[in-house]
Structure 1
Amino acid sequence: MNVIEKERITARISSNVAAVLSSAAELTGTTMNGFVVQAALEKAQQVIDRESRTMITGNDAAMLLNLLDNPRKPNKAMERAFERFMKENHGNSEVPIAYKSA
C-alpha cells in the first residue's frame, strides 16, 4: 500500500479574502482548501517556468546559432588558458591540433 505524506499549510486571512476565496471555490465546485491549493500550485508552476527560462530575441537566437555553426578559431590567450586547464585538470598541457589557432 502506498503511503502519501501530506504537509499542512495555514494562513490567516481577512473575512473579505475568505469570502472571495469561498465564492470562487463554490463556483468551481471544490472546497476552499482545494481551491487555494490548486491556485497556489498553478502560480508556483508559472513562477518556476518563468524563472527557469532565458528569453532571447530572434536576432540573438540567429547570432547564437551562427556562432555554433561557425565557431571562431581560438586565439593565443585561449590556447594558453586551455593548456592551463588541461594541465591542472588532466596533468597534460598538450593542446590537441583541433584546438590550435592557425
Structure 2
Amino acid sequence: MSATQERGRITARVSSAVAELLHEAADLAGTTMNNFVVQAALKEAHRVIDREKAIHISKDDAAMLLELLDNPPAPNAALTRAFERYMKEKYGEENRSAGQDARHESV
C-alpha cells in the first residue's frame, strides 16, 4: 500500500513574453516548465529566508560582544533585585539565601 502525498497547487498569471522566457529556460535546463519554476522559486525562498534570519554585525560590534561574554560587567542593583525576586518565586523564602550564595559563587 503506497501513501499518497498531499500536494498544493500554485497558479501564476504571467505575460506571454514571461511564459516564453520561462519555457525557453526550462527547455535549456532539460526540465519541465513547472519543475523549472518550482525549483527557481524554492531557491529564491531559501535565499530570502536565510537572509532574513541572519544577524549581521560589524567587526567592532562582534569584538565588543565577545569582550562582554569573556568579561561580563558586575550586576547592577536592578539585576540583583530581579535575581532575588526570581529566586524567591522559584524556590520560596526559605531558599532565598541559598540562591544568593550560589550567585556569589558563580561570579
State the TM-score, normalized to the length of structure 1: 0.85
Q: Going by fraction, where is helix more abundant, 1 or 2? A: 2
Partner of 2:103: 99
Contact 2:84 2:100 in 1 (8 A): no
TM superposition shift of 1:8: 1.3
1:7-40: per-residue Cα shift (whole Å, max 9, x none)? 1111111111101111111111111101100000
Superposed structure 1 runs of 4+ greater than 4 Å apart = none
Letter of the 1:18 partner, please give it: A
User: Percent identity between the aligned chains?
Assistant: 57
SS at match of 2:57: coil
Superposed, 1:23-102 pairs within 5 Å as: 23-88=24-89, 90-92=90-92, 94=96, 95-97=99-101, 99=103
User: Where does the alignment leave 5 or more consecutive residues of structure 2 unmatched?
Assistant: none
Aligned residues: 100
Higher normalized contact order (CA 8 Å, seq sep 6+, divided by chain length)? 1
- CA-based RMSD of the aligned residues comes to 1.9
Letter of the 2:32 partner, please give it: T
